[in-house]
Amino acid sequence: MAVTLEVSVGKNHLVMALNGSEVQLPCIFTTCIGFKDLDFTWYYNSTEVIYRGNIKNKASEPTMLYADPRVRLIGTTTGRENNISISIFVDFDDAGKYTCHVKNPKEMNAEHNATIILRVVQEMVPVDNTLTRIIVGTVGGLVGLLILILIIKKIVLLILKKSQEKKKECLVSSSGIDNTENGLAGSKAEQKAPPKA
């Protein structure tokens, strides 16, 4: 039997929070064969339990078995996602690793977990996007220049093609002129015998 339990805390595994604020720590689990009496636990720095819960089945909400007084469950499992995210009021001492651990008895007691790193700061520093803007501007400029060059090349090739077609028309129409009456080389005038005296 293949184990299909997976736990995810999202793409960003680093969360920044202001000292004294409430922060949400995301956790979603997926299982292809469903769950029954599923246990989940949130750990602080891999050892300290800050929240423990149980979910009977997909139709029931999680039941709290233990919770630190500053932690509350904000997720739900009766919707589209099996969300067991928590919310916690943080201070500087709360910085560290937070692990969301899930155990599913329906999958032969399969277990999986995911970890978030929490940093608690005095003030949020604005993100400097200067380098990103420079890179995006340069790449955009190069792409625009490349498109402009391709358009100019296409126009020049089109003009050259039309001028070559006109030259071909001129050559074709001029080769159809009968030069025999004009006295030019190869004309009938040269073929006449000289008059006899």
Residue holding tokens 């201070």? 91
Q: Which stretch of 33-37, 46-50, 100-104, 187-191 has the lowest confidence by average pLDDT? A: 187-191
- The pLDDT value recorded for residue 193 is 60
Q: Tell me the three state secondary structure of residue 77.
A: coil
Helix (H) or strand (E) holding 162: helix 130-175
- The pLDDT value recorded for residue 170 is 66
- The pLDDT value recorded for residue 152 is 94
pLDDT digits (tens, 9 = 90+) for 20-72: 999 999 999 998 888 899 999 999 998 999 999 999 998 889 999 999 999 99
The model's pTM: 0.62
Would you tell me how many other CB atoms lie within 10 Å of the CB of residue 117? 14
**Upper half-sphere CA count for residue 104 (Cβ side, 13 Å):** 21
Residue holding tokens 């769950």? 35
Task: Indicate the average pLDDT of the chain.
Answer: 85
Would you tell me how many other CB atoms lie within 10 Å of the CB of residue 115? 14
Question: Would you say 40 and 28 are in contact if contact means Cβ atoms under 8 Å apart?
Answer: no
Distances 128 to 12, 34, 135 between C-alpha atoms, Å: 18, 44, 13
Distances 130 to 123, 124, 126, 137 between C-alpha atoms, Å: 21, 18, 12, 10
Q: What phi and psi values does residue 67 have, to the nearest 5 degrees?
A: -150, 135
Which CATH architecture group holds 6-121?
Answer: Sandwich (2.60)
Distances 16 to 7, 12, 42, 53, 90 between C-alpha atoms, Å: 21, 11, 18, 25, 11
- The pLDDT value recorded for residue 178 is 52
